[in-house]
Amino acid sequence: MSTAEERAAPGSNEIALDGVAVELDGRRILEDVTVRLAQHRIAVIGANGSGKSTFARVLDGLVRPTRGTVRVHGLDVARELSRVRAEVGFVFTNPDAQILMPTVAEDVRLSLRGSGLARAEVDARVDAVLRQHGLGDHADAPAYSLSGGQKQLLALASVLVREPRLVIADEPTTLLDLGNARRIGRMLIDDLDAQLVLLTHDLELAERCDVALRFHEGRLVEVGQPADVVRAYRREYA
Amino acid sequence: MIALYLPGRSILHRAPAGVKLLALLALALLISLWPHTGVTIALAGLVVVALYAFALLPPVVLLRQLWLAKWIVVLMVVTQLVFLTPWDALVNTVRVVSIVLLAALLTLTTRSEELLAALETGMRPLARLGADPRRIGLTLSLAISMLPVVAGIAERVRDAQRARGVRLGFRIVVPVLVLALRHADDVADALSARGAD
């Protein structure tokens, strides 16, 4: 057994990428990323098209790397995809793409499909998570009738009801107004028990994480203290 | 067009989805195949109204469903008046509207997940032919929830062309389709991320 595998035993908090590259139609989207992360809250910043989203999708197996290996909490993403998916929750920028069922409660229930939980337990969990996210009164409302902020809260509820150990959020506050952005930001940064990978253009939010990664033109150019990484990023556009 | 579940405590709400589905099938067949007289068609209409009352739904719900069916009525009456007597046109229209209202009553009193579970059970024999009932069920409910999304996309494209002062006419189909397909890609990602595949 290699040392890398020993360090990333199942149950650990480590995200480990080794020489990960992604090419699409001959274009390089992500180049040779090697990094080990075990911090609780991980911020990912960088310009549009810098490779942030691809990096996030590689962690969840939504994008398959052309080269290299990805391990999440000791699981090989290429080989143990279903276990990785059970462990990882993904919040997209646009909640419309993520909400899949006609009504609010049904969408949360979809996440527990095939979980083997008894019906009463499913009901209790759905009810609890909706109330936690301020959607208790909207359980039977059509999902499309919610406001943008409520939709993102629902998307988050549908992810968290599965009790993931890692939550990846791809610019979850970009489409929201200030109040809703703050609320979602607080929930992710302050209230989340799971490990967090947060892609964001909100640099204040990034600064509140434990470590920050900066991508530039498909390359991971910096890993370090969020304040330093954000300062370097700001300087680039000064 | 598809009515959304309205929570309630009536017997119709609590009845098993499978039973309701079979009852709808039986009633729809009866209403459409029976050689109607004035009395039986009136009876059919009354039964539908009575069932709405039985579900303890406020009358405005029934009226709203009727209003939603207005284009079906117009289409049926106009086309049939060309070929049939006014009486036959009336009978056939009541037939179709009654069945539409019954189907709406089913979705009004049944959570779509229960309906899907019943459909999945009903489709289980198809598994022997290689079909996956769970997948078919999920596809159906996805289709239901994507209707307002596609409507929203069409709205957006219409607004965009207005704002830019262009008129696409029938060609509006192209950007709507492109956006819908892109949305489908996102939904596919979301399905994978939620472990649904």
User: How many CB atoms lie under 10 A from the CB of residue A64?
Assistant: 12
Query: A139 lies in a domain?
Result: no
- Residue B167 included in any domain: yes
Q: Is residue B4 in some structural domain?
A: no
A203 touches chain B (CB under 8 A): no
Angstroms from A175 CA to nearest CA on chain B: 16
Residue A153 lies inside a defined structural domain of this protein: no
- Please say if the pLDDT value at position A177 is more than 70: yes
Supply the pLDDT for residue B36. 79
Q: Residue A113 above 60 pLDDT?
A: yes
Beta carbons of B196 and A97 less than 8 Å apart: no
Number of other residues whose CB lies within 10 A of the CB of residue A83: 16
Which amino acid is present at A157?
Answer: A
- The reported pLDDT for the residue numbered A58 is 95
Domain holding B134, by residue range, is 11-193
Pair of tokens at residue B61 = 């719900």
Say if A1 falls within a structural domain.
no
User: Of the given ranges (A143-157, A162-176, A217-231, B181-195), which has the lowest mean pLDDT?
Assistant: B181-195
Q: Is residue A35 part of a domain?
A: yes
CA within 13 Å, CB half, A131: 6
- Collect the ranges in chain B with pLDDT lower than 50: 1
Helix-then-strand count for chain A, H and E: 10, 10
Q: Which domain holds residue A86?
A: 15-101+163-236
Q: Tokens for B28? A: 């729809």
Closest chain A C-alpha to B178 CA, distance in angstroms: 15
Q: How far apart are CA B82 and CA B50, in angstroms?
A: 33
Residues within 8 A of B (CB atoms), A 74-93 only: 82, 85-86, 88-90, 92
Q: Work out how many domains chain A is built from and give that number.
A: 1
Q: For the domain that residue A221 is a member of, what is the CATH number? A: 3.40.50.300
Nearest neighbour of A100 by CB, restricted to B145, B148, B195: B145
User: Residue A4 falls within a domain, yes or no?
Assistant: no
Q: Domain for residue B51, yes or no? A: yes
Interface test with A, best of B142, B185, B186, B189 (most A CBs within 10 A): B189
- Domains contained in chain B, number: 1
Q: Which residues of chain A make contact with B183, given a CB cutoff of 8 A? A: 96-97
Residue A186 domain flag: yes
What's A69's DSSP letter? Answer: E
Maximal C-alpha separation, chain B = 57
- The answer to whether residue B1 sits within a structural domain is no
HSE (side-chain half, CA atoms, 13 Å) at A178 = 1
What's the pLDDT score for residue B2?
Answer: 59
For residue B193, the distance in angstroms to the closest alpha carbon of chain A comes to: 6
Residue A135 placed within a domain:
no
Specify the pLDDT at position A145: 86
Distance CA A135, CA A151 (A): 10
pLDDT tens sequence across B5-63: 788 889 889 999 899 999 999 999 999 888 878 888 889 999 999 999 999 988 898 99
